[in-house]
Amino acid sequence: MSAAIRQECALAGLEPLLVGLGSERAALAEQRSRLRAAFALSFDGLVVGVAQPRLARAQRELARLHAQELAELFRRAARMRISDRVEALGAWRIALSEALDACVADGMCAGTRLRELLTVCCVREPREWPGAVELAEAALALDPNCASRVLLARALGHALRWDEAIAVLANALSSRVAPSARAELVRRLVALLERDGRSREALELSQCA
């Protein structure tokens, strides 16, 4: 590895790879912004009065917990679509129904796109569900954690959309992640680069890690 690349890796981690993915990353950021808005959870009523700040914080935390629960269900659905194997569908639908009931009980209101996707998954057979990429994007919009990003990259790779899959993992690595999560992201990104025929970049990334 050249001294320049080694220095860049030390200072910025993935800068050489991220520079090469500039346009993909910009498009990805714009798409994620739209998805977050489409899959937002909100409350039916606004909190007013002297208790507003405290209650508003409690509402945000409650919305986050509901979003995380729905995201995990979407991740499971996406994995079913990727593997083309339906596992414990009845239990999954019961969990989804309970999660939705909890949202309603807590006064949550889902956006139109989220309601549409949930309805399809509730009433149709898995082969008629949206593709793994759309389900994984929903999970990421609801809960932008490492598991959601890895699954979206996996779904994109399964759809042979290598550049987008690489951009997803590169974006994740450019943010703050736990060391254990970072190692997993690097391993998967190296594998994607090799699968896409970019062996040199894969080697340099593995040496940076």
Which sequence spans correspond to the domains of the chain?
1-38+145-209, 40-131
Among 209, 200, 192, 183, smallest CA distance to 1 is for: 200
**One digit per residue, pLDDT tens: the chain, 209 residues?**
334 333 333 333 444 444 444 455 455 556 555 555 555 565 544 333 444 566 677 777 888 888 888 899 999 999 999 987 777 888 888 888 888 888 878 777 777 778 788 888 888 888 899 999 999 998 988 888 888 989 999 999 999 888 888 888 888 877 777 777 888 888 888 888 888 888 888 887 777 65
Contact 165, 184 (CB under 8 A): no
Structure confidence at residue 40 (pLDDT) = 59
Q: Please report the pLDDT score of residue 6 as a whole number.
A: 38
Long-range contacts of 121-128 (CB under 8 A, 24+ apart): 121/77, 121/96, 122/93, 122/96, 122/97, 126/77, 126/80, 126/81, 126/86, 126/89
Per-residue confidence (pLDDT) for residue 152, from 0 to 100: 93
> Three-state SS for 77?
helix
Give 23-66 as a 3 state SS string: HHHHHHHHHHHHHHHHCCEEECCCCCCCCHHHHHHHHHHHHHHH
d(CA 166, CA 154): 10
Distance of alpha carbon 97 from alpha carbon 16, whole angstroms: 45
Q: Cα separation of 209 and 137, whole Å?
A: 27
The identity of residue 96, as a single letter, is L
Q: What is the pLDDT of residue 53?
A: 61
